[in-house]
Structure 1
Amino acid sequence: MAKASIVVKKNNGGTIALNKRARHDYFIEEKFEAGLSLQGWEVKSMRAGRMTIVESYITFKNGEAFLFGAQVQPLLSASSHVVPEATRTRKLLLNRREIEKLQGAINQKGYSCVPLACYFKGPRVKLEIALVKGKQLHDKRATEKDRDWQRDKARIFHK
């Protein structure tokens, strides 16, 4: 009698963290995908979903991009010989052309660079970053009014 084999698939894809605040506070001009330079304990924590990028931002120094303010909470079962630092600065892996394009735009008044989402792409951790421009209060109100109208319109035409 043959035994039935049970296949358990690991969830290698999927979102680790979202920055919903960025979509509310900024106009998104252009999106980029960047790799992250991480330590082993950080990847394990991210697989457990213990990352927040809400108050993080991206800066440039010496032609390299860095992620500041992202928190990766260490697991309790983390290695004892490594001292985990939850809010350490992490290097972003981008092409030189992308870095130069982002730096040139950030030097203009009103533009900045923020992370939108962090996710797994195969075995690698990727960060979706965006070139953004700040919204004023009246812009936020207009966006909310437009969103409400789209919702009401969908209800009306659905009947």
Structure 2
Amino acid sequence: MLQKKKYQKKSSKIIINKKAYYNYFIEKVFQSGLVLEGWEIKSIRSGKVNISESYIINDRNEMYLCNCLIEPLQMSSNRFSCDPTRKKKLLLHKNEIDFLSLKKKNTGYTMVSLSLFWKKSWCKLEFGLAKGKTAQDKRINLKKREWEQEKLKILKKTKETY
């Protein structure tokens, strides 16, 4: 009997900002759409995007993604100018914008981009409301991670002996 092949979904994540998880405590995660131009979508599809230094600002009750580097393709037309670091508008609901701007203004939070991903045919941004880590916090996290690795090694050795 013939069975249909199950197609595995490819990872819809385009890029992940690992530096953000190292430098910040992520309190809450949000998703939003981006207003992009055609050449930017083509560059994102080919993987020429960098969000490691990007952050989100509030300007006149609208949210913008800044410092997101999208390199233009060499094949794209030269009829228009391609600004790789232009501010990209985020598509959020008004109540989300109000909540985020209030948190950022009053309590010292910042908003950092965590990842870019595809949702159907739309490019979405996942960003987090975050507080910065101190050097001591980073050392504590490093020690915890090393201890977890050591525990796994010890457990593996004990299983091999039995």
Native 8 Å contact 1:16 1:120 kept in 2: yes
**2:95 paired with 1:70:** no
Specify the code of the residue in structure 2 equivalent to 1:21.
K
Native 8 Å contact 1:18 1:52 kept in 2: no
State the TM-score, normalized to the length of structure 2: 0.87
Task: Provide the C-alpha distance between the structure 1 equivalents of 2:45 and 2:112, rounded to a whole number of angstroms.
Answer: 22
Post-superposition shift, 1:12?
Answer: 7.4
- Gap runs ≥5 in structure 2: 1-6
What does residue 90 of structure 1 align with?
88
Task: Provide the C-alpha distance between the structure 2 equivalents of 1:20 and 1:12, rounded to a whole number of angstroms.
Answer: 20
What does residue 19 of structure 1 align with?
17
Native 8 Å contact 1:12 1:122 kept in 2: no
Residues 38 and 12 (structure 1 numbering): CA distance in 2 closer, same or farther, change over 3 Å? farther
Say which is worse superposed, 107-116 or 62-71, in terms of deviation.
107-116
Residues 120 and 13 (structure 1 numbering): CA distance in 2 closer, same or farther, change over 3 Å? farther
Task: Provide the C-alpha distance between the structure 2 equivalents of 1:113 and 1:61, rounded to a whole number of angstroms.
Answer: 13
Native 8 Å contact 1:51 1:73 kept in 2: yes
Native 8 Å contact 1:18 1:117 kept in 2: yes
Task: Provide the C-alpha distance between the structure 2 equivalents of 1:100 and 1:153, rounded to a whole number of angstroms.
Answer: 45
- Gap runs ≥5 in structure 1: 1-8
Number of residue pairs matched? 150
Deviations 1:46-73 (A, max 9, x none): 0000000111110001111000100000
The 3-state SS of whatever aligns with 1:107 is helix
Q: Report the aligned-residue RMSD.
A: 1.6
Task: Provide the C-alpha distance between the structure 2 equivalents of 1:120 and 1:78, rounded to a whole number of angstroms.
Answer: 22
Specify the code of the residue in structure 2 equivalent to 1:118.
L
